[in-house]
Structure 1
Amino acid sequence: MRHNKIKPIVLLAALFSFAILTLSAKSIEFNGMLRDYLAYTFANSEFAVHEQALDFTLTGWGEHTRLVVNPTVYMSDDKPLTLGIREAYMDFFLENADIRIGKQAIIWGEAEGAFITDLVSPRDMRSFILADFKEIRKGVPAIKVDYYKDAFTFEGIWIPRFVPSTLPDKESMWAKKMPGQLASATVNSPASVEARLENSEVFGKISHFGSKANWALMGGYAFTNEPYISKVTPGTPPVIDQEYGRYTMGGGSLSTTVGSSVLRLEAAGYFDKPFAAVTQGPPPSVVVENHHQVQALAGLDWSLWQAQMSAQYIFGYLFDHNAKLMEQGRPVKEYSNTFTFRVQKTFISDRLTAKLFTYIETDPLNALVRPSLSWSIEDGVVLEGGVDLFVGDEDGTFGYYKENSLAWMAVRWYF
């Protein structure tokens, strides 16, 4: 196994954080999780992933402050040791407001397993969407202010430096290949967005928490978290350049009870969002076009036969659509219709948990089916196993990965 040397600045930052916690905090909490994960692919009959992950959190409390540091370590047999810090922020608690400064993961919206208004934090897509939801969402350096007035919360977020989503390496089993004449193209990494004031991102949200319903309205001015094709230089092979572009978003969410069930609604509009309109050629060429896009969700959560259930319908529409539009190497659809379904039930004094989560895309028909079992060996020690099945038309979001269906097992130790 190859190991990266830990940079001195990382050690200094860790020691400094620990010193502050020790000297100034009135109380210190330390918790985390160690996981060993093994995945076997059916198509290749091989163990595609064997990874160990260490995720721990240090929390220090002062009289009106809190410090949170969440380092992560990922290890595997065929990849270098990866060190990271998912979150590292300070909270300041005022009479009617809270201020959070530092690297933080920010969660918006009511969707489960989908990102509609939840666009503040970029995503780690190196394992598609199979990673734990906490691990998919990346932290961003931000200043977030929450002001409280009666049942209302006013939230403002400023992100001075843009952080994009992390996409799979070109050799990864989760990498998307360009279609047609661009399949053999050399794809250049997108240029970093300069850390300048005019390149910062801003978001705002108004939330209301009521006895019968909770609702929120939000908006933002941001960059696309994933790059788009900005230029194609003909040649053998062609050369593809990428970049990130600006757009404005606005949306809202609502959750309320309907009898014993919970109804969740969410919608967002993305205005003047840039897309690549690609002509395959010969020679291939691209024009960047701005389009409005809408996504909406309706979800229902309920209990039946002592099982927890959830169903969602996600609708998408792209204005002024044309057949040349592409996103992440795949054609963009004018309409999209996706359903999700989840059922979860516990047995044997809540020590055994059975779960099924399914995505179904209707045009073309394809799906991701994820049954799993988890067994609590003792307090804080969990053994898990499951299957991730990609089925259906290969032109679909999930059917594209039908050769990547896998079985997996993991053991987690929480401390």
Structure 2
Amino acid sequence: MQIRTSLSTIGLALLLASLSLPLAIAAEAVPKGRAALFDDDEPAATPAEAGSREALFGEDLPARPSAAEPPRSRDSLFGGDDLQSSAVAAAGTPAIASPPVVKGFVQNRMAYTWPKPSHWSEMMNHFDLSAQGSLSSNVKWKLGARVDYDAVYSLTDFYPQSVENDQRFNFLLRENYLDIGADNWDFRFGRQQIVWGEMVGLFFGDVVSAKDVRHFVLPEFEILRIPQWAARAEYFKDDFHAEFLWIPLASYDNIGKPGAEFFAYTPPPPPGFQTFFLNERFPSSSLSNTNYGLRLSILRDGWDVAAFAYSSMSAAPTFYRQVINNPQPTVVYEARHKRIDQFGSTLAKDFGSVVLKAEAVYTRGRGFELSNFGNLNDNDGVVEQNVLAWVVGVDYNEIADTRINVQLFQQHIFDRNPDIIPESNENGYSLLVNHKFGDKVEAQALWIASLNRSDWMLRPRVSWNFEKNWRAALGVDIFHGPPLGYFGRYDDKDRVYTELRYSF
């Protein structure tokens, strides 16, 4: 594949086209132990979760895990973020209300897509601002919001008007919650990130988070994840942790509009048929449509093991269909969300230079679109299937300034309907290689591929921390595979991109 010579001037053109808003973010603090496992402030990889998307797409890579005392409360688990001085707490002096700590970032991402046809596909500017503080030693708060502006929809006319209206400008509430501590219990009320699992590149145990997938799975987790309005209670006792969750008003995946760069959720219709999309149908606000779950974890002899059960209106939609023959043959789709039940487990263990991590999730009642249009009288073109997805990953950190991550994963469909696209066993693997050249330059490449067919994604990237709080990056996203493959459906969406980010 060739990139037009005009791309040699990407940096300058991109900045001018996007209202000159270059940006960067400082690397997050490196997690040092189990404390990072449940960091729901800005979720980062835990020691055994060294394969986070932040590490994957530009954030600093986590250091090798180190031993840690088991958490006894949210203060011990999130001490740095909860803004309470450990020295004051150790002295037994009651904490008083603290002034708010304000932080945020500004980021600019410019992407040029080729080859069919070549076009600017992203001129995104993110403005993220948050403040957090405490009202007393037991009551803490956080407020946050983000504004997104994509200038590609103002400066080009490549996309339909509905896509421009949906993606040009967005205001998003981020984490906005109140924390209350009481002995071994901690309670969090409000809009919050809830991370129950995190692997490299793809989602498995992270079942609670909604996601903004209008740019596929390419953004960092902090950009991609959508917080939930939730009430959460956590109990800490020695090396045991219990988490009770209720989401009265759920957030759902943002899939965008037909005609957007990464909108490809349905199989192509038969020859002679056109397609039409109704507005997405969201569940009504009722007690029967709320989400709830329980997660239990224990840290024993270096093994961090957790199990969870979660019942929810699915964050990802399923496309139901109708076939209309008048005035011309048309397949009408409507995205809907139905209830699913999920049961899963995660584990992590540090073996010195090697970190083992695994996740497994059983989903009952997941909807799959039928790919076979032979029966056009089918009621809705959807069947329910029970699915087991699992992944095993190994992180190797023995080589100086180098990290190698390998993962093997599978999706197994029980009693598979022959008219759906996925096979009974969909197998795949991933490889991530990252190397730091001193303190400022970092290069990495991620490869994710199917073992069932030629379907893969390659993401090489170089980042440069040229000043304090500033980072620049250059990367390429390449997709290949059949039209119905997970990556192949975006075979004509290969792109080169730049990022500038500033944090404060």
CA distance in 1, matches of 2:453, 2:314: 26
**Which of the numbers 106, 109, 114 marks the counterpart of 1:37?**
109
Are 1:318 and 2:413 counterparts?
yes
Q: Is the contact made by 1:110 and 1:265 (CA closer than 8 Å) also made in structure 2?
A: no
Are 1:352 and 2:441 counterparts?
yes
Are 1:267 and 2:370 counterparts?
no
Task: Provide the aligned C-alpha RMSD in A.
Answer: 2.1
Equivalent residue number for residue 228 of structure 2: 140
CA distance in 2, matches of 1:234, 1:47: 36
Equivalent residue number for residue 290 of structure 2: 200
Q: Which ranges of structure 1 fall in alignment gaps of 5 or more residues?
A: 2-23, 326-330
Equivalent residue number for residue 404 of structure 1: 493
Are 1:212 and 2:293 counterparts?
no
CA distance in 2, matches of 1:287, 1:36: 40
Please list the CA deviations of residues 109-130 of structure 1 after superposition, one character each: whole Å capped at 9, or x if unmatched: 2422222221111111000011
Q: TM-score, normalised by structure 2?
A: 0.73
Equivalent residue number for residue 377 of structure 1: 466
Q: How does 1:331-342 map to 2 (within 5 A)?
A: 331-342=421-432
Are 1:96 and 2:184 counterparts?
yes
CA distance in 2, matches of 1:106, 1:203: 11
**3-state SS of the aligned residue for 1:198?**
helix
Q: How does 1:48-127 map to 2 (within 5 A)?
A: 48-62=121-135, 63-77=137-151, 78=153, 79=164, 80-127=168-215
- Which amino acid is 2:242 matched to? F
- Which amino acid is 1:203 matched to? G
**3-state SS of the aligned residue for 1:193?**
coil
Are 1:163 and 2:245 counterparts?
no
Please list the CA deviations of residues 252-297 of structure 1 after superposition, one character each: whole Å capped at 9, or x if unmatched: 0111123421111111111133334465146353354332100011
Equivalent residue number for residue 281 of structure 2: 191
Q: Is the contact made by 1:234 and 1:283 (CA closer than 8 Å) also made in structure 2?
A: no
- Which amino acid is 1:409 matched to? T
Q: Is the contact made by 1:181 and 1:284 (CA closer than 8 Å) also made in structure 2?
A: no
Q: TM-score, normalised by structure 1?
A: 0.88
CA distance in 2, matches of 1:393, 1:275: 19
Q: Is the contact made by 1:110 and 1:253 (CA closer than 8 Å) also made in structure 2?
A: no
User: Displacement, 1:388?
Assistant: 0.6
Distance 1:58 1:192, change over 3 A: same
Are 1:252 and 2:345 counterparts?
yes
**More divergent stretch after superposition (383-392 vs 231-240):** 231-240
**3-state SS of the aligned residue for 2:335?**
strand
Distance 1:243 1:392, change over 3 A: closer
Q: Is the contact made by 2:292 and 2:310 (CA closer than 8 Å) also made in structure 1?
A: yes
CA distance in 1, matches of 2:108, 2:280: 33
User: Displacement, 1:302?
Assistant: 1.1
Equivalent residue number for residue 15 of structure 1: none
**Which of the numbers 385, 400, 405 marks the counterpart of 1:291?**
385
Equivalent residue number for residue 13 of structure 1: none
**More divergent stretch after superposition (56-65 vs 307-316):** 56-65
CA distance in 2, matches of 1:370, 1:295: 24
Please list the CA deviations of residues 167-208 of structure 1 after superposition, one character each: whole Å capped at 9, or x if unmatched: 032111111153133962212123221111111111110011
**3-state SS of the aligned residue for 2:490?**
helix
CA distance in 2, matches of 1:309, 1:108: 23
CA distance in 2, matches of 1:249, 1:71: 30
Are 1:234 and 2:307 counterparts?
no
CA distance in 2, matches of 1:412, 1:317: 40
- Of all paired residues, the percent bearing the same amino acid is 23
**3-state SS of the aligned residue for 1:238?**
strand
User: Displacement, 1:163?
Assistant: 2.0
Distance 1:300 1:95, change over 3 A: same
CA distance in 1, matches of 2:434, 2:382: 44
Q: Is the contact made by 1:120 and 1:203 (CA closer than 8 Å) also made in structure 2?
A: no
Please list the CA deviations of residues 220-252 of structure 1 after superposition, one character each: whole Å capped at 9, or x if unmatched: 111222222334142232322332111211010
**3-state SS of the aligned residue for 1:185?**
strand
Distance 1:269 1:398, change over 3 A: same
Q: How does 1:170-189 map to 2 (within 5 A)?
A: 170-176=258-264, 177-181=266-270, 184-189=274-279
**3-state SS of the aligned residue for 2:288?**
helix
CA distance in 2, matches of 1:393, 1:283: 24
Distance 1:398 1:287, change over 3 A: closer
Greater strand share, structure number: 1
**3-state SS of the aligned residue for 2:489?**
helix
Q: Is the contact made by 2:435 and 2:444 (CA closer than 8 Å) also made in structure 1?
A: yes
Count of residue correspondences: 388
Q: Which ranges of structure 2 fall in alignment gaps of 5 or more residues?
A: 1-16, 18-95, 154-163
